[in-house]
Amino acid sequence: MGPSEVAKAFVSRINAHDVSGLCGLMTEDHTFVDALEGTMTGRAAMQAGWQQYFQMIPDYWIRIDTVLEKGGVIALFGAAGGSYSKGEAGSAAAKWQIPAAWLAEVRGESVATWRVYADNLPLRQLMALEPR
């Protein structure tokens, strides 16, 4: 698998909410950087992080529209969305969708770094972390 295919497989595992599959595509020293520059390092930490995220956003999805590759660095552009589980189930207010981009650094057939670029204000508002 080439670097773009590894990154696309990573997105597929995210969309399937397959935490074991995600971890299988990570380097042992994998680093995740969220849109607010928060970081988490290590496969074990990421396993717990993804499990918690999928509990909070049970229908989280990523849609990729464009992929650019230079060496082992892959830029993906598209959108992300889902429903915040503590919102009113099934209500439009609990759902969110945002334009987003991701930068993956691929080493061999594993993702070493996964960086998110997105304005996640709609989700933070649903979580009552930001005023509406």
* 50-54, 63-67, 108-112, 128-132, range with the lowest pLDDT: 128-132
CB 130 within 8 A of CB 118: no
**Res 23 pLDDT > 90:** yes
First to last CA, the chain: 44
**109 three-class SS:** coil
Over residues 45-65, mean pLDDT: 93
Q: Quick one: pLDDT at residue 123?
A: 63
Tokens of 8: 């696309």
Domains of the chain: 3-126 (3.10.450.50)
- pTM to 2 decimals? 0.86
pLDDT digits (tens, 9 = 90+) for 59-103: 999 999 999 999 999 999 999 998 876 645 555 447 778 899 999
